[in-house]
A = this chain, B = another copy of it.
């Protein structure tokens, strides 16, 4: 990402951190990034696009972090549970920002299909990685279909939980519990 674009995203993040979705007023973002409003719109199609870019960035960072310290645990259930716990904690550390980004990605604007899909794929990869243990995704072992189904289902449960949290339906612990419960239900008999 180019310098100017990065400044814009960072400004959006700062504003979102303080005041959530509504606080990300694009005029303010532009001013804060020392850029004209038109420039923001040259780089990003919409407010949602901008916030999804922020989310993408954050996931990238977390992916880096995971490569250093891959989720450990003896069983798939342990690893996947601890992965979601860590990811949730990391995301919810800045609740206003998290809510803003989740709202953007949940809006489901058809203009942003690709970026939504990219987000889901990234999370999918992380889940797959945690299911397997150490190894990075796309390396060595080909994904079998059970693994794919597991990863996608867990990713969706996490997403739905995040939306619920974002709307105040339940607390941060609810996210972790719900994903763990789902993982337990799907990995009942597995102990590998």
State which residues 93-129 of A face B: CB under 8 Å: 99, 102-103, 106-110, 112-113, 116-117, 120
In this complex, how many residues of chain A approach chain B with their Cβ under 8 Å: the count is 38
Nearest chain B residue, comparing its CB with the CB of A165: B108
User: Chain A interface mostly helix, strand, loop or mixed?
Assistant: helix
- Stretch from A37-45, A64-72, A84-92, A155-163 that touches the partner: A155-163
Which of B99, B159, B181 has a CB less than 8 Å from the CB of A160? B159
Counting CB contacts under 8 A, is A168 at the interface?
yes
Number of copies: 2
- Choose, from A7-15, A23-31, A75-83, A182-190, the stretch at the interface: A182-190
Q: Which residues of B contact A109 (CB under 8 A)?
A: 167
Interchain CA distance A146-B184 in the complex, whole Å: 10
Output the residue of A108, A110, A116, A157 with the most chain B CB within 10 A. A108
Q: Which A residues fall within an 8 A CB radius of B?
A: 99, 102-103, 106-110, 112-113, 116-117, 120, 146, 149-150, 152-153, 155-157, 159-161, 163-164, 166-169, 178, 181-182, 184-186, 188-189
A175 CA to B108 CA, complexed, in Å? 15
Known: A107-B103, A107-B106. A186 touches B186 (CB 8 A): yes
